[in-house]
Structure 1
Amino acid sequence: MDIDKLKQWFKCNDRVVSILRELIRFNTSNPPGNEHAIAVYIADWLEERGFKTEVQDIEKGRSNVIACIGSGDRIGMILCGHMDVVPAVGTWNYPPFDGTVVGGRLYGRGSCDMKGGIAAMMAAAEFIAKNGLLSNKGLALVFVCDEESKNKGMRGFIKKRLSADAAIIGEPTGLDINTGHRGFVLVSIKAQGVSCHSSQPENGVNAIYIMADVIKEIRGYAKSLSNKVDKYLGKASLSVGTIRGGNKVNIVPDKCEILMERRLLPGETAEDVIRELREWIGEDHRVTIKSYPELKAAVSEPESRLVKDMADVVKGVLGKKPVIKSFPAGCEASFFINYLKIPTIIFGPGSLNQAHKADEWVAINDLIEAAKIYSLISYRYLRR
């Protein structure tokens, strides 16, 4: 590849910025998502640049877009991201769905998490397509819906059984190379009591008191997880996030529920978590435990070919040795590694510290550098 041509192509900030501003103007707050319109927009944009595209409908108003280019029988690289964003709550100084540019930053919901990554991937795809850089393998772009909730988009996409040599998830990593992430499972624990008038509490069973005992045991369980450590992903953990119980102060509550999130290490399952919780809480018929579909932990070893290739490309663009670590949150890498068996890393512009906040932003320079890196790593895998 002509590196000078690459640098010149992305020298103009407007190329990536204009793409991102258009993406931000689609309000894809989840719920409800409404990703169909942006999926159609991206599909049309990529078709104009020579890609074959499919808008995969997941449910009413919610779609993925899958785009491929190249004449080879095999895909060399998949660039992937999610099109939904979290709601724009809080007080904003800049309109959340405008894409305001101020002081080298682009503000807007999804600028960091993760329409910025998508925009950089689209810009890289355009560079490859328009400069005749396709070879004996294809390039695929996969942008999914509902990542911020139940991963309905990814669960629908993996049914396609797409195969490739490598994949990159464009979540915000600050241009560090992230090799994987812990999994997680959401768990509901309910306590059943007996209601009565609060003036005679002895006639009832207070569900909140039952849950208080349960939470005490959960805190012990949480401390014990510090002994569960993966050499790449760190410690297992849990957090109780919500509690609901009681209707009125003069009624002894008969129901109480907590929701907790347990971060999983490789090999751990939802069934393991339920079993461990039962061991700590005990067999109490008044307490029920239910788990929801899990996201499995996923990791590509730092010594893998993909990580080494990416490190070489990143060093060449940024001029410094890249940081290699794990991603704190969960993402689509779980599906690529565990279900499609595709070597996958997480790499994108922006910091996770900016995600889900008011006045979310991404540095424009990060967008441009990410687009260069996506171009170079994709080119390497298209020719291999």
Structure 2
Amino acid sequence: MEERYENAAVTWTQQFCRINSFLGAGKREAVFLAEKILKESCDATVTVYDADTEEPYIIAEKICENPKFRLLLEGHLDVVSPEGMEHPFYAEIKDGILYGRGSVDMKGGCGSMLAAFVAACQKPLEGDLYLMFSTDEEYAGEEIKKALEKGHLPKVDFALIAEPTNGTMATAHKGEAWIDVEFFGKSAHSSMPHMGKNAIYMATAFLHNLQAYLLEMKKMVHPLYGAPTMSVGTIEGGSTPNVVPPYAKITIDIRYLPGTSSESFLKVLQNLAVLCKTENEDFSAKITKIGEWNDVCTDRESPTFRRIWQAASKAMGKEVGLTVMTGWGEGGFMNLYGIPVVTLGQGKMVCPIVRKNRSMWMKSKKWHWLMNRSSTRCVA
């Protein structure tokens, strides 16, 4: 890419990073900025969807006659909470480093894809090129699903997401599902606990059997994807110490291997409930899947993938390494619609995070990400 577009990528990243796109108003501002840049810089067709909502998204398209290929560049402009950061939206560049919330996850990627899209629009194309920026990835990541369902995006031949992968190309990530397990007992005064049925005790028995199964899960190791996981993320129950709790609930996060599904693990949980019932006839539970986010599993041997990988390696001047992602990304919903997708971006996470309601929140007072893009490194 020409130097002017590399410089534009840095400039546009800095402009995006000065916007507090954790908030709804900031999400709209970021999307409208992208719209302004696109309309001023190229002749693509640009459309903003859900413009008057808390989560707008934008799609640009450059269409040609008789396209031989259709490629989507996709990313998100929303960020996680800036709470605890000092000057999270100053977006200052010091010693070649751009500091700002979201500079890597993933406004740096968005700035780069924006520059690449604009640059491509200046040349004759033999295929259709699409660019989409969402603003709900850190919460639910369902705007890409909405765009495909409503026909705002076609089923393209390939998609690339510029999330940080430290310069390697991720071809897969695990699927994710959330499962509620509710336990139903009977209330009684704690001075006469035998008159009640303690739902927390039921949850404890279930968790005891679940922990035994988790030891077996560690043996289900795939040479490329690792092992599937289950983790109990929340537990609730009871209202006051002097009442036998009639209700309790746990929520389990399941990460299943690419190319599989959550159904086998849902069956495992149901079998554990049956086991608990044989151990205690008063045991009563209900198991419900409350959410699912699809896996990514792109065939590394397909001609389309090889073409994309070779093009990326040529552009970067070296063979791009292949990897898998540990977390979830919007590519999961693309894969659900049969679109091959890879994730390729500079930068990597260097500090642990925790998700809450599909949103990332800081676990430490300052949360740094490092990015190498062109001559500028970004820290968010």
Cα deviation 1:27-74 (Å, max 9, x = unaligned): 2327x6863332222122212222211112288322221101242354
> Counterpart in 2 of 1:95?
87
- Structure 1 residues 117 and 71, CA, compared in 2 at 3 Å: closer, same or farther? same
C-alpha distance in structure 1 between counterparts of 2:265 and 2:52, whole Å: 31
Q: Is 2:200–2:248's contact at 8 Å kept on the other side of the alignment? A: yes
What is the aligned counterpart of 1:64 among 57, 61, 78? 57
Q: TM-score of the superposition, structure 2-length normalised?
A: 0.84
In structure 2, the residue matched to 1:350 is 347
Give the Å deviation of 1:298: 1.6
**Structure-2 residue corresponding to 1:322:** 320
**1:227-242 alignment, distance < 5 Å:** 227-242=219-234
Q: Is the 8 A contact 2:145 2:334 kept in 1?
A: no
What is aligned with 2:334? 336
| Contact persistence 1:70–1:136 (CA under 8 A) | no
Q: 1:369 to 1:51 in 2, by over 3 A?
A: farther
SS in 2 for 1:292: strand
Counterpart check, 1:140 vs 2:130: yes
Task: Give matches, 1:215-364, under 5 Å.
Answer: 215-282=207-274, 284=277, 286-339=284-337, 341-353=338-350, 356=360, 357=362, 359-363=366-370
Q: 2:154 is matched with which residue? A: 162
Q: TM-score, normalised by structure 1?
A: 0.83
Distance in 2 (alpha carbons) for counterparts of 1:9 and 1:60: 34
Q: Which has the higher contact order (CA 8 A, sep 6+)?
A: 1
Q: Would you say the 8 A contact 1:56–1:64 is kept in 2? A: yes
How far apart are the structure 2 equivalents of 1:76 and 1:268? Answer: 27
How has the CA–CA distance of structure 1 residues 105 and 254 changed in structure 2, closer, same or farther, with 3 Å as cutoff?
farther
Q: What's the counterpart of residue 180 of structure 1?
A: 172
Q: Answer whether contact 2:163 2:345 (CA < 8 A) is retained.
A: yes
Structure 1 match to 2:188:
196
State the secondary structure of the residue aligned to 2:113. helix
CA RMSD, 1 decimal: 2.7
CA distance in 1, matches of 2:163, 2:294: 17
| Residue 82 in structure 1 maps to residue 89 in structure 2 | no
Q: Percent identity?
A: 26
- Match for 1:335: what amino acid? F
Q: 1:63 & 1:139 partners in 2: Cα distance?
A: 21
Q: Distance in 1 between matches of 2:252 and 2:374?
A: 35
Give 1 or 2: higher strand fraction.
2
CA pair 97-245 structure 1, distance change in 2 beyond 3 A? farther
| Aligned counterpart, 1:3 | none
Cα distance change on mapping 1:367 and 1:77 into 2, 3 Å: farther
Write the deviation string for residues 239-296 of structure 1: whole angstroms up to 9, x where unpaired.
1111122222333322221111101224433433322211123174621111123122
**1:29 partner amino acid:** F
For the residue of structure 1 that corresponds to 2:319, the secondary structure is coil
TM-fit CA distance, 1:338: 2.5
Q: Distance in 1 between matches of 2:198 and 2:90?
A: 50
Residue 373 (structure 2) pairs with residue 366 (structure 1): yes
Do the aligned residues in 2 keep the contact of 1:80 with 1:143 (CA within 8 Å)?
yes
Give the gaps of 5 or more residues in structure 1. Answer: 1-5, 371-384
CA contact (8 A) 1:100 1:107 kept: yes
